[in-house]
Chains A and B, each alone.
Chain A
Amino acid sequence: MNSTSPPAKPSTDDHPEVSAANARSGLVLFFIYLAFYAGFMGLATFAPQAMATPVLAGVNLAITYGMGLIFGALVIAAIYMWACSRNARLYGAALGGTGVSPVSRGGQP
Chain B
Amino acid sequence: MTHETSWTAIGVFAFFVAVVLGISFYLGAKAKSAQGYYAAHGQIPWFVNGVAFAGDYLSAASFLGICGMIAFYGYDGFLYSIGYLAGWIVALLVIAEPLKRLGKFTFADALDSQFNSRGIKLAAAISTLVISIFYLIPQMVGAGSLIRPLLGLHDFAVVGLNVSAHAIGVILVGGIVTLIVVTAGMVSTTWVQFIKGGLLVIFCAVLTVMILLRGLAEVPITHEFGSPPAYIGMFDIPGESVIAESGNWKGKPYLRKLFSTGEVYTWRQEFQNGKPIIRQLNSSYPGEHTLARLTQTVTVRPDGTTLVNGLPIGHGEKQRSLTSVGYIDKLPAWSLRKSRNRAELLWLSTLVGQPNDQSPTGPLDPLTYIRTLQDSTIVLWGNERVLEADGSVTTVFFQKPTPGKEILTPGGSPTFGGIRSNDWRKKLDFLSLMIALFCGTASLPHILIRYYTVKDQASARKSTVVGIATIGFFYILTLFLGLGAMTSGTLDVTDSNMAAPLLARSFGELPFAVISAIAFTTVLGTVSGLIMAASGAVAHDIMANFLRIEMNDHSKVRAGKITAVIVGLVAMALGILFQKFNVTFLVGWAFNVAASANLPSLVMLLFWRGTTKQGITAAIFVGMISSLAWILLSQQCYRDVYGLPPEQALVPFSQPGIVTIPLGFLVLVAVSLVTQTKRAATTQ
The residues of A with any CB-CB pair to B shorter than 8 Å are 1-3, 5, 8, 11, 13-14, 19, 22-23, 26-27, 29-30, 33, 37, 40-41, 44-46, 48-49, 51-52, 54, 56-60, 62-63, 66-67, 69-71, 73-74, 76-78, 80-81, 84, 105-107, 109
> Is chain A's binding surface mostly helix, strand, loop or mixed?
helix
Which residues of the other chain, A, contact B411 by a CB distance below 8 angstroms? 44, 48
Specify which of B89, B427, B457, B556 is in contact with A11 (CB 8 Å cutoff). B457
Is there an interface contact between A70 and B85, defined as CB atoms closer than 8 Å?
yes
In the assembled complex, the CB of A42 is this many whole angstroms from the nearest CB of chain B, namely 9
Contact present for A62 and B544 (CB under 8 Å): no
Say whether B550 contacts A33, CB under 8 Å.
no
**B472 neighbours in A (Cβ, 8 Å):** 70-71, 73-74
Residue in chain A with minimal CB distance to B102: A8
Could you list 20 further interchain pairs (A-B, Cβ under 8 angstroms) beyond the known A29-B93, A66-B81, A106-B458? Answer: A3-B550, A5-B34, A11-B458, A22-B457, A22-B461, A30-B94, A33-B93, A37-B86, A58-B371, A58-B374, A63-B78, A66-B75, A66-B78, A70-B475, A73-B85, A73-B89, A73-B468, A76-B93, A81-B462, A84-B461
Complex Cα–Cα for A2 and B606 (A): 30
- Residues of chain A within 8 A of B90, CB atoms compared: 30
Give B residues with C-beta under 8 Å from A. 34-35, 45-47, 75, 78-79, 81-82, 85-86, 88-90, 92-94, 97-98, 101, 104, 367, 370-371, 374, 405-406, 408-411, 419-420, 427, 430-431, 434-435, 438, 455-458, 461-462, 464-465, 468-469, 472, 475-476, 479, 544, 550-554, 556, 606
- Taking a contact as CB atoms closer than 8 A, the residue among B93, B374, B430, B479 that contacts A27 in the complex is B93
Cβ–Cβ contact B374 & A45, under 8 A:
no
- Max chain B CB contacts within 10 Å: which of A33, A73, A109? A73
A62 to B553 Cα, complex, angstroms: 53
Residue of A14, A51, A52, A58 near B456 (CB, 8 A) is A14
The distance in angstroms between the C-alpha atoms of A3 and B557, with both chains bound, is 11
* Residues from chain A with Cβ under 8 Å of B551 in the complex: 3
Can you identify 17 A-B contacts, CB atoms within 8 angstroms? A1-B553, A19-B97, A26-B97, A33-B89, A37-B438, A45-B430, A52-B408, A57-B371, A59-B370, A63-B479, A66-B82, A70-B475, A74-B468, A84-B461, A105-B458, A106-B458, A109-B45
Given A8-B104, A44-B430, A106-B458, verify A70-B97 contact (CB < 8 Å): no
Q: Contact: A27 with B94, CB < 8 Å?
A: yes
A48, B86: Cβ atoms closer than 8 Å: no
| Count of A-B contacts judged by CB separation below 8 Å | 155
A69:B409 contact, CB within 8 angstroms: no
Contact B554 A40 (CB under 8 A): no
The chain A residue sitting closest to B463, CB to CB, is A109
A69 partner, pick from B85, B93, B553, beta carbons under 8 A: B85
A106–B459 CA distance with the chains assembled, in angstroms = 8
Q: With A59-B370, A62-B409, A77-B465 known to touch, is A23 a contact of B97 (CB < 8 Å)? A: yes
Docked-complex contact A69 and B82, CB < 8 angstroms: yes
Answer whether A74 and B469 are a contact pair too, CB < 8 Å, given A5-B104, A37-B438. yes
Alpha-carbon distance A81/B50, docked complex (angstroms): 15
**A48 engages B420 (CB within 8 Å):** yes
A74 to B269, CA, bound (A): 49
Query: Across the interface, do B410 and A48 meet the contact criterion of CB distance under 8 Å?
Result: yes
Alpha-carbon separation in the docked complex, A48 to B457 (Å): 41
CA distance A105 to B46 in the complex (A): 13
Q: Which residues of A contact B104 (CB under 8 A)?
A: 5, 8
Q: Which residues of A contact B438 (CB under 8 A)?
A: 37
Contact at A59–B374, with CB atoms within 8 Å?
Answer: yes
Write the chain A residue with the least CB distance to B550: A3
Given A3-B544, A73-B88, verify A19-B82 contact (CB < 8 Å): no
List the B side residues contacting A11 at CB < 8 Å.
455-458
How many angstroms between the C-alpha atoms of A107 and B374 in the bound complex? 43
Cα A5 to Cα B36 in complex, Å, equals 12
Q: In the complex, A2→B332 CA distance in Å?
A: 71
- CB closest chain-B residue, reference A33: B89
